[in-house]
Structure 1
Amino acid sequence: MAAPVWRRLSRGRWWSAAPGRRAAHSGRQGFLAAQKSRGLFKEFFPERGTRVELSELFAAGGPPQTVYCGFDPTADSLHVGHLVTGEDVFGITVPLITSTTGAKLGKSAGNALWLNRDRTSPFELYQFFVRQQDDCVERYLKLFTFLPLPEIDHIMQLHTTEPEKRGAQKRLAAEVTKLVHGQEGLDSAKRCTHALYNSSIDALEVMSDEELKELFKEASFSELVLDPGTSVLDTCRKAKAIPDGPRGYRMITEGGVSINHRPVTNPECVLVVGQHILKNGLSLLKIGKRNFYIIKWLQL
């Protein structure tokens, strides 16, 4: 029978490896040893026995270990059943996850990356990991993916030869996004990336309303009726993207307006399906550098 092991996940929260609570997991390296080699453990306590008994639990070829998803020891819902875990109990702390600036990542810090798409979109999750600094990538690959350690070593070796391509960051972002949101979520994140950073018209044309709203969270969303002869000026005014009068007119003529990543400088230019209006019936209107307007055309 496997000896129980406690793991402290965060302040006041624990997991324990207790016999019979979860399916056993064993491998050539051993479950606990595999987690330790990936950097999931930081400290072990108490000092009593950790150099001998705990080492045996980490040894390859030892008895299979079981993992129990534990509880908050400060909760008022605890009962006597929670007092069961045996004599050989060892505390194991996990490392604090921090941002590139060293700040704590989490809900209490106000910078949490949520697993719920409504809170953090696949694109935002993907971009967070793509933007990670080189000195964080290997650690995050070990913590947040199931990639074998030899494969991670290979990824990092390739990265050192061409760091400017950010291959390790892209692989990290892809693995985490797929793990959280599935292949569809990863595809969505890549479409959004191409649409925003590569100015890809093809990517824009296959994006859904939901993806556009996720990508341009601050954008104004309008539904407009396309009439014969609708011009660039008409569109901008109906979407309330420019002021009335000469000033709004000049914003177009002076190059401050683009539709679907293409600059438009003729206010009287009539909208053309396939150029100003995408196959999915949408137009992405950009005013200046940061102001986006998503227009869904009706009665095409």
Structure 2
Amino acid sequence: MDLFQDLKDRGLIYQHTDEQSLRKRLMSRPISLYCGFDPTADSLHIGSLLPILILKRFQLAGHKPIALVGGGTGLIGDPSGKASERVLNPQEIVEEWADKIKAQLSRFLDFERKDNPAVIANNYDWLGSLQVIEFLRDIGKNFPLGSMLAKESVETRMSKGISYTEFSYMILQSYDFMKLNELYGCELQVGGSDQWGNITAGIELIRRTSDEQDKEMFGLTMPLVTKSDGVKFGKTEGGAVWLDPKKTSPYKFYQFWLNTDDRDVIKFLKYFTFLTIDDINALAQDLEREPEKRKAQRTLASEVTSLVHGQEALARAEKITNALFGGGLKGLSASEVEEGFSDVPSAAIDNTDISFVDLLVQAGVVSSKRQARESIENGAIYVNDLRCNDLETSVSQLERLDGKYLIVRRGKKNYYLIKFGQ
């Protein structure tokens, strides 16, 4: 398999060092490569998914990936792609987040593989013990100020202000590349397009400090993931889409991909799945012929949800989706109800000895009894998939899901979750 060509065909290569040399190196023998992930939160989000999957693609092709958790650089803050200074988090928080990110990365990379097991490293292991005088003398002298100022990650921040702390990030990332080369023979760094300046700085540092005059190092970046509608990739009305199922449920995760715009879905299939280009081209033809069937979107949602959360979570997400949009709410368990309706208005009701009209008012479905009666008479109120148009209905007559839930819908899209008792 020509891995470089496959990455090209998928649109996954934005910048790279000399193509001929890199291709030749990849084809000759397995290469060690790394990508860094700074712990800026207690979970990675889907903006990190692309570089994670790049490492996975290299491992599947026989190469040796290194996932570098930035326990040290996470204490500094990368200015790349940021308009203002990052908030500096306490060391104990960064350490906690680093451990969680290590666990997340282990879901994607195989650390037990016989021939080319992946490696997880934490740059705090070497950055945390640096002596400032020695570091400036031995490493800092290899960074001409002019070339640092010319790097895009620094240049774009100069007018808005950048501290020396963030300005020094490039040196630390370059040092990481050098240390990984010493420890693991790492020859290639991959990252987002905003990391190109840091990657090339690391290559130059290794060239300047190496005893091997002809030593060749490599760099490769991926494009910035954009959406055709102008909305930032990975953002929803509820905020970022996280890889942690406790922060973004598998159902919401599935829905994010299912709702992909027709203009983006083929690109995302190339970026985020391991389907062959031929299979993706076939889905592109299906999209052109029968866009209303959304086969490409359903395939994308299934593939990525299964990859990130597993088959069991995918099955649950699909079950909830089918129940919400195809009927069948009565088949949902309590956990599935809470997962599927976690972002709709909800109310807890203790008293079941009330009329359905009073319930609608108490739960905030309508603002008044008059509006409740009008909505019921007009057939606009549904309870657990069934239209309710009887003004005399009492709450005790309504069948609850799992013995404690009512899902009320007003109109076509306004859902409300009502929970009874404990």
Q: State the shift of 1:104 in Å.
A: 3.7
- 1: distance between equivalents of 2:302 and 2:311? 9
1:184 is matched by which residue type in structure 2? E
Partner residue of 2:25 out of 54, 57, 69: 57
Q: 1:94 to 1:221 in 2, by over 3 A?
A: same
Q: Is the 8 A contact 1:232 1:266 kept in 2?
A: no
TM-align CA RMSD? 3.4
Helix, strand or coil for the counterpart of 2:67? coil
Q: State the shift of 1:42 in Å.
A: 1.2
Helix, strand or coil for the counterpart of 2:315? helix
Matches within 5 A, 1:102-117: 102-106=230-234, 112-117=240-245
- The alignment status of 1:296 with 2:296, answered yes or no, reads no
Q: Is the 8 A contact 1:221 1:294 kept in 2?
A: yes
Q: Is the 8 A contact 2:234 2:240 kept in 1?
A: yes
Partner residue of 2:12 out of 13, 35, 40: 40
- 2: distance between equivalents of 1:179 and 1:257? 38
1:55 is matched by which residue type in structure 2? R
1:220 is matched by which residue type in structure 2? S
Question: C-alpha offsets along residues 113-145 of structure 1, whole Å, 9 cap, x if unaligned?
Answer: 211223322222222222223332222112111
TM-score (norm 1): 0.71
Helix, strand or coil for the counterpart of 1:67? strand
User: Which 10-residue stretch deviates more, 131-140 or 65-74?
Assistant: 65-74
Q: Is the 8 A contact 2:347 2:417 kept in 1?
A: yes
- 2: distance between equivalents of 1:235 and 1:141? 45
2:338 is matched by which residue type in structure 1? L
User: Which 10-residue stretch deviates more, 287-296 or 124-133?
Assistant: 287-296
- 2: distance between equivalents of 1:71 and 1:245? 57
Q: 1:206 to 1:103 in 2, by over 3 A?
A: closer
Question: C-alpha offsets along residues 231-289 of structure 1, whole Å, 9 cap, x if unaligned?
Answer: 4234334535444554543443343422123222222124576x643455421123455
Counterpart of 2:322 in structure 1 is 194
Matches within 5 A, 1:115-264: 115-198=243-326, 200=327, 202-209=328-335, 211-224=337-350, 226=352, 231-243=355-367, 245-264=369-388
Question: C-alpha offsets along residues 27-59 of structure 1, whole Å, 9 cap, x if unaligned?
Answer: xx15444434433221113xxxx1432120244
Counterpart of 1:284 in structure 2 is 407
Q: Is the 8 A contact 2:306 2:314 kept in 1?
A: yes
User: Which 10-residue stretch deviates more, 125-134 or 32-41?
Assistant: 32-41
- 1: distance between equivalents of 2:176 and 2:365? 62
Q: 1:279 to 1:266 in 2, by over 3 A?
A: same
- 2: distance between equivalents of 1:100 and 1:271? 47
Aligned length: 259
Partner residue of 1:83 out of 161, 175, 178: 178
Question: C-alpha offsets along residues 49-92 of structure 1, whole Å, 9 cap, x if unaligned?
Answer: x1432120244xx2122222246696654366752436211221
- The alignment status of 1:268 with 2:236, answered yes or no, reads no
- 1: distance between equivalents of 2:226 and 2:244? 20
Q: 1:245 to 1:32 in 2, by over 3 A?
A: closer
Q: State the shift of 1:172 in Å.
A: 0.6
- 1: distance between equivalents of 2:178 and 2:405? 60
Counterpart of 1:26 in structure 2 is none
Q: 1:120 to 1:92 in 2, by over 3 A?
A: same
User: Which 10-residue stretch deviates more, 72-81 or 152-161?
Assistant: 72-81
Q: 1:88 to 1:280 in 2, by over 3 A?
A: farther
- 2: distance between equivalents of 1:81 and 1:135? 38
> Which 5+ residue runs of structure 2 have no aligned equivalent?
32-63, 77-123, 131-174, 182-186, 188-214
Question: C-alpha offsets along residues 163-218 of structure 1, whole Å, 9 cap, x if unaligned?
Answer: 221111110111111112212221222222223222x1x24432424543543513
User: Which 10-residue stretch deviates more, 173-182 or 139-148?
Assistant: 139-148
TM-score (norm 2): 0.52
Counterpart of 1:8 in structure 2 is none
User: What percent identity do the matched residue pairs reach?
Assistant: 31
- 1: distance between equivalents of 2:262 and 2:270? 14
> Which 5+ residue runs of structure 1 have no aligned equivalent?
1-28
